[in-house]
Structure 1
């Protein structure tokens, strides 16, 4: 062992040892960080740490593979030369930047998402403006940069002090000797690089244990390589006709009938009564957990306006978001579809002209708008909404719409902005855009449907000064400002002639946090929703409801007759006992029905859990096969229908 650190390869093995050691320290830090959600099973924890060590060693070898080849093939007469030293120091500087940055970045990522780097981190590489600005506004970048530089300098000084470089640049061993040291590391790197998969770490029901067994850099690469997941390849399936038969049986409401007898056609005609056609403003509030409301036990009184509106509205108290990201909320509210595996449909190619809520409102002669305070290029929003016929209102930072998108785009000018951060303009300014285009549609004598996406309740949690009594930079403060802006918007809307004939659907896109003990944490999908200003008395809906059911339920209140291919249902036309909610997190998919949660994943593993009153889970050994078949049928048909183009509007 001593020979490894006393020759030409001393730098190589020193860096590899340092990386494995630091990764172990980070693993300890993350474990302590999540003690409240950790399953204290000693064997599972030891297995996670061993698996993590193998991942650390693998990625460490891969980091250094180019340097291994360099040390192996460099002629011994060049050892210790200026070229040798320059290349070594340059390569090590790059490696240390990658190592220290990735290890340090894991801590805030874990804090926000409760997992190692995943597809979210990969997505952030695409949208550099928002991400860099968010980091700049959320963290002290000069200090982080200084720490990074300091760590690199300290490492070089330490290596020099223990003569690591002296040994590297003085040992002129033969090619045969170098080969004996280099080949095993290269062989192990290649072998483990192909063998190791993140799925190996997913051996328990505890999400924290599973994530501890992974490596952040390896997880990032794995997410980059598998940014799409094909349902038919990776997930449990039923025979196609059986899957459609189950879905069609469960989709049909008491006021619906199928339009054809084709086994794979889910189009239904919905019979309404006394149809009304008010304007519709759908507000998706960023990261607005049910926990923020007084109704659900919050004692901080940070949502007085939403609390009051809920008492004057149809209030959904038991509604669950399909996912943990904005694009999933958008997908649920517009396409009314379960969260299929991999990327949200909002971010996928060939997602234009899908049957959506927009298809239904446009059939009623509504003018649809998508209103967003940032640049809708982010997360492919403009392409998606434009592809469904929405006119776009956004900040427009110079990213053009694709040529195949024929809708109009209206830019929010600098003169219309009083405050802006990395993600977009403040909610007050955004709501002024909503009023502006509501006025325009009213002037044109055209009913309007607006999808308004807020951003103020997002890190860095900044907003205009002097609006509320809490300091900026804090989640509670951002929630209170978000609620304040909503209250001001409703006040302003009440002064408009179109207010009396306008319905407001106000719902969260997802919860503020997704971290927790289980692969899917049901409590962290619980969101509030209200339908305000209906010509209907105030009502509480305590029945289990999915985010995909919200718009079909609205159409039911409006008495609309229409044809639908949506997976969502009008909760008021759903039989008692048939309520269900769909929850997913990219790889793992589930259905909540009653007090049973059925979960499927990309290893074709099916699990069922009993759900307690506080939404904690305990695995069931005797499975409910009816729920399993229903879960599989929904996700299988939704995935296949998008893949094969059957979600397209006819």
Structure 2
């Protein structure tokens, strides 16, 4: 053993571990390259930059992982090296760490399969809701095979370490103080450098989103998302003077039916309809899980998996060019209840102090409606019960013992076993939740209460399981089957509702929460925000197809105008049917904020960056164009004012 290896022999295992981690991480990147081979950039420079950027982030990641080991090696006296306790601790924690990392690499593959991205804020949220996530994994993947494979690979890697005599050298090598301090100092310096000077979004160097995502380290991305789940707009994004931002937005929201009640930083206004309002119609609102527009024959799909919804498109008020605000259910809920653009970071549904906001429920409550939220899983997931319960809804869910805060004054009702015919990781099947809603609606009608019933579906979600024998696609085999089952369940809902005495006075509203997948090679894949929306059972004379480009946040203002309701509004959405409506859509991820107007797309990014594109709808591609400054200021205004109003508690 030469002098160098003798000096650092105590760190032999740590050295082999570091090399193993770096090699396996690069192997995973190559797997992702092959996986997205049709969409990544294979240009030699781009390929090498992706791998080298990834290697850079992997070095930071492994420094953090190794930190505790380095501290241990630093403080253990030479006389304890190779003792029973020393061996036991190193064997145990090395084995545990390798097992966890191998499992994490497998988890990254499944996460990429679902979201086409490295770990992000979704993975952080999933860590909190372990029941649903673990159950979903068990039902979606052969867990014994997966765990067995992870265990076998762990043993294989430990065997390789042993064959290289990494353990033996570590247990037999003494180490002097100088070497200990060198290794400790180097590790701490790397850790501090990455902790204070390197951000995860610096890996996003490429215009091809896949190259940027592959450049990242999944573990590093996870903890970056954990740290940045809430983002103050003015700290991270380009901003303008608040006076100017609110002036722009007030001009955008102004119309002949609106009267602003204040000149301050607010958008509160009175919507006045000169036509007498309709009698209070019941409203059944259905937020459908992951219903991409691309699933419908109406938008070109050839698989015939939404026959009922395609038929509804011909006999409803159907929105042909409507876009989701985000990529998750809580974003859809935020958009349809608050009619607000997506604020950066977490959805308002998941944020603290989100009770007693001015929501659509506030309007229904002012008209003496009974307001209820139905969810087939445990509403603790994604903070849904706290949000809906704290904003005036009674809760119907499949709770497992979690309770609402004493500060939330609402009624919670569990869906009991006798009301369930089928259940998976995410909750009861769509037929069961619809049947529960029908039962409650019957009681509301009996008690002569107008009702607003908000139903969140779950069946169109991995593991894509549903009751057997309902459709011609076997349960658990594909997303297409889950979509077709949801379509079937909606048809059954309408068949049953038509037999009810309250049906003729009930309007049904159906819209997706988000698309099934929103990822693509561009930083925002616009077409993957396109969703269908239907307003059903208003007078037949009102049925039409609305071709105007619009957003989820416009749905309720449009329906309230059809009801000819006058009401107070803090909404950013507008009545699409008004002649003055300016076509636009607002959308984003938890970091990207977008304003789209026809084929022009402005994207705001954290680090106070922005980009302007022309969208080619035919091939779904974005082409960079010079920044239009008035367009930029308008984009900033939508998001800056929305964030300001929530953070300053002006939406209460």
Bin for the TM-score computed over the shorter chain: over 0.9
Closer/same/farther in 2, CA of residues 72 and 478 from structure 1, 3 Å limit: same
| Alpha-carbon offset, residue 182 of structure 1 | 4.6
Tell me whether 330-339 or 43-52 shows the greater mean CA deviation: 43-52
Are 1:638 and 2:642 matched, yes or no?
A: yes
**Residue 528, structure 1, aligned to residue 507, structure 2:** no
Give the drift of 1:263.
5.2
Alignment match, 2:609? 605
Pair 1:407-2:413 in alignment = no
Aligned partners of 1:294 and 1:310: how far apart in 2?
Answer: 10
Q: Which runs of 5+ in 1 are unaligned?
A: none
Partner of 1:390: 393
Alignment deviations for residues 528-585 of structure 1 (CA, whole Å, 9 cap, x no partner): 0111111143210011010100111111111112221111101011526x11110110
3-state SS in 1 of match to 2:79: helix
Q: CA deviation at 1:41?
A: 4.2
Deviations 1:201-260 (A, max 9, x none): 122322111111110000111111111000011111111111000000001133222233
2:562 aligns with: 557
SS in 1 for 2:577: helix
Choose 88-97 or 178-187, whichever is displaced more. 178-187
Structure 1 partner of 2:131: 129
Q: 1:333 aligns with which of 336, 340, 354?
A: 336
Which residue number in structure 2 is paired with residue 499 of structure 1?
503
Q: Are 2:438 and 1:435 aligned?
A: yes
Contact preservation (8 Å) 1:241, 1:264: no
Root-mean-square deviation over aligned CA pairs? 1.6
For 1:37 and 1:558, the matched residues in 2 are separated by 46
Aligned with 2:596 (options 589, 592, 595):
592
Could you tell me which residue of structure 2 aligns to residue 545 of structure 1?
A: 550
Are the structure 2 counterparts of residues 4 and 451 from structure 1 closer, same or farther at C-alpha, using a change threshold of 3 Å? farther
Give the whole-Å Cα distance in 1 for the aligned partners of 2:45 and 2:578: 49
- Paired residues for 1:1-16 under 5 Å: 3=4, 7-16=9-18
CA distance in 2, matches of 1:241, 1:536: 45
Cα offset, 1:599, TM superposition: 0.7
Deviations 1:262-317 (A, max 9, x none): 45343232325231121100100100001111111111101111111111101111
2:485 aligned with 1:481: yes
* Aligned position for 2:74: 72
Partner of 2:612, secondary structure, is strand
The residue that corresponds to 2:577 in the other structure is: 572
Query: If the length of structure 1 is used for normalisation, what is the TM-score?
Result: 0.97
Q: Secondary structure at the match of 2:408?
A: coil
Instruction: Please say if residues 259 and 269 of structure 1, whose CA atoms lie closer than 8 Å, have aligned partners that are also in contact.
Output: no
Matching residue of 1:467: 470
Q: Secondary structure at the match of 2:10?
A: coil
- Paired residues of 1:522 and 1:615 also in contact (CA < 8 A): no
Aligned length: 647
Whole-angstrom CA distance in 2 between matches of 1:189 and 1:178? 17
TM-score (norm 2): 0.97
Q: Secondary structure at the match of 1:340?
A: coil
User: Aligned with 1:630: secondary structure?
Assistant: helix
Q: For the residues of structure 1 that align with 2:422 and 2:436, how far apart are their CA atoms?
A: 14
Q: 1:509 aligns with which of 502, 513, 516?
A: 513
Alignment-derived partner of residue 170 in structure 2: 168
Aligned mates of 1:335, 1:234 — CA distance in 2: 23
Q: Give the corresponding residue for 1:453.
A: 456
Distance 1:574 1:589 in 2: 27
1:219 aligns with one of 201, 205, 221: 221
Q: Distance in 2 between matches of 1:211 and 1:242?
A: 36
Match of 2:624 in 1: 620
Q: Is 609-618 or 183-192 further displaced after alignment?
A: 183-192
1:295 to 257, 275, 298: 298
SS at match of 1:27: helix
Aligned pair partner of 2:380 in 377, 380, 388? 377
- Flag structure 2 segments of 5+ consecutive residues without an equivalent: none
1:111-260 alignment runs, 5 A limit = 111-260=113-262
| Equivalent in 37, 40, 44 of residue 38 of structure 1 | 40
The alignment partner of 1:513 has SS state of coil
Of 340, 345, 363, 1:342 maps to 345
Report how far residue 112 of structure 1 moved: 1.1
SS of the aligned residue for 2:464 comes to coil
Runs in 1 of length 4+ with deviation above 4 angstroms?
1-6
**More displaced 10-residue stretch of structure 1: 633-642 or 125-134:** 125-134
Greater shift, 469-478 or 272-281, is seen at: 272-281
The whole-number CA distance in structure 2 between the counterparts of 1:633 and 1:92 is 51
**Alignment check: 8 A CA contact 1:73 1:175 kept:** no
Is the alpha carbon distance of 1:189 and 1:644 closer, same or farther for their aligned partners in structure 2, counting shifts above 3 Å?
A: closer
